[in-house]
Structure 1
Amino acid sequence: MSGRPASTMLRFLCGERELGRSVPATRCRAVPGLPMLPCGKTVDIGAAPARNIRANTSLEGACAMVSVEFVREMARYNEWQNTALGAAAAALDSDALTRDRGAFFGSILATLNHLLWADRLWMSRLAGWEAPAGSMTENLSLCPTLACWAGDRARADGRIRLWAQRLRPANLRGDLVWYSGLQGKDIVKPIATCVTHMFNHQTHHRGQVHAMLTAAGAETAATDLVFMPEE
């Protein structure tokens, strides 16, 4: 990877509100100096994230294990699983959905709300969605009812799939820079790692919801990726 200046980078700057911290909004703009990616291809900003993006001179590591096909499959899996969870949860009454069952976020509905909030937050970093207001704990009551959650969840999942369909390999390269309210500082991680984390985080909390639904007597559906129906 010789022959490229070390200062080579492409950066997008946008306003952000996360966990109560406000950052003054500016127009998204590309910092001069990097019209090319490390692979030598011209940057296409049409599907680029609307946060700080820095080109990474190494294509090894996280970005090597993540492809646009992987992202699209996981986006479809996410939608499939959320639809199934919603159908299973619909068999329970409001008391069963909001009862504290000892999970990290307490109840079934609170855990579903956390996951919806987190997906919106990650997509604000990766795709320029409007960042959700409030903190992680404040958003445990994001949707007061399962019906409210189901509608918002379906819309979010549709948007995630559309984002995945528009991705190009170049959009998964480089680093993502964001301010973490939990850490109290700026974080820099490979975009590919952040995308993988978002889908892994979804699976983690859906597993908690699945366990709570099973304990509550609801009938749950298959969760195996290999058994996801073909489109």
Structure 2
Amino acid sequence: MTLTAYFLRLARYHVWATQVLLDKSLQHLGDEQWHRDCGLFFGSVHRTVNHLLVTDNIWHARFAQGVSPRMALDTELFHERDPLVAALRKAVQRWPAWLEGLSESDAGRLDGDLSYTRNNGETVRIPFAPALGHVFNHATHHRGQISAALTSMGLPGPELDWVYQLQQEARSNS
């Protein structure tokens, strides 16, 4: 398997896990639960979902467009749930499309570096492939926090392990 193919699988998992979280778990939260401070890094489920959208937007711009948007990581892009959920659902879809669109020469970038500018103006240069892996790992981390918040509210946490998506994909392909 090529590195591009691996990241494409990871991007498809990113889409799947986000959709499972949004469709099977978060749609059942009442407004009070959605906004309740659950002790997460960003406080509430609402603010954590906003953070997921902010970081997805920032990282996608860095990788796909070569630009470094400056935006606080706790920016509230949407106060209302429906437009936030719709925006996150759309945002995660960009990753598989971007990876599928990489040409052979573009795919060579995976072995290089990613340069970008942080919010504080510092220029950073890090290995491209591990940075791309970070995008998906970071989202997994925060989806896990949201799962913990759900279970602390007495609600079932979603099954988001990558192996479940791989099994589902294998059944669909057979």
The answer, yes or no, to whether TM exceeds 0.5 is: yes
Instruction: Please identify runs of 4+ aligned residues in structure 1 that moved more than 3 A.
Output: 129-134
User: Deviation digits for residues 46-101 of structure 1, max 9, x if unmatched?
Assistant: xxxxxxxxxxxxxxxxxxx9811111111111111111111211111111111111
Trace 1:83-98 onto structure 2 (pairs within 5 A): 83-87=19-23, 88-98=25-35
Structure 2, gaps ≥5 residues long: none
C-alpha change, 1:94 and 1:132, in structure 2 (3 Å) is farther
Is the 2:71–2:119 contact (alpha carbons within 8 Å) kept by the matching residues of 1?
no
Using the TM superposition, name which of 147-156 and 128-137 deviates more. 128-137
Gaps of at least 5 residues in structure 1 are 1-64
Q: Which of 94, 116, 138 is matched with 1:159 structurally?
A: 94
SS at match of 1:90: helix
Q: Which has the larger radius of gyration?
A: 1
Structure 1 counterpart SS, 2:129? helix
Cα separation, 2, equivalents of 1:93 and 1:130: 37
Aligned to 2:36: 99
- Match among 81, 84, 88 for residue 149 of structure 1: 84
The yes-or-no answer on 1:67 pairing with 2:6 is no
Render the CA deviation track for 1:94-113: whole Å, top value 9, x for unaligned: 11111111111100110111
Q: Percent of aligned positions with the same letter in both sequences?
A: 32
Does residue 123 in structure 1 map to residue 60 in structure 2?
yes
Contact 2:11 2:95 in 1 (8 A): yes
What is the TM-score with the length of structure 1 in the denominator? 0.65
Shift of 1:188: 0.7
Is the Cα contact below 8 Å between 1:89 and 1:218 reproduced in 2?
no
More helix by percentage: 2
**Cα distance in 2 between the residues matched to 1:68 and 1:111:** 29
What number of residue pairs does the alignment pair up? Answer: 164
Give the secondary structure class of the aligned counterpart of 1:117: helix
Equivalent position of 2:15 in the other structure:
79
Give a deviation string over 1:109-141, Cα, whole Å, max 9, x none.
10111011001101111001876563222x1x2
Cross-structure match for 1:207: 144
Which residue number in structure 2 is paired with residue 134 of structure 1?
71
Cα distance in 2 for residues equivalent to 1:126 and 1:97: 31
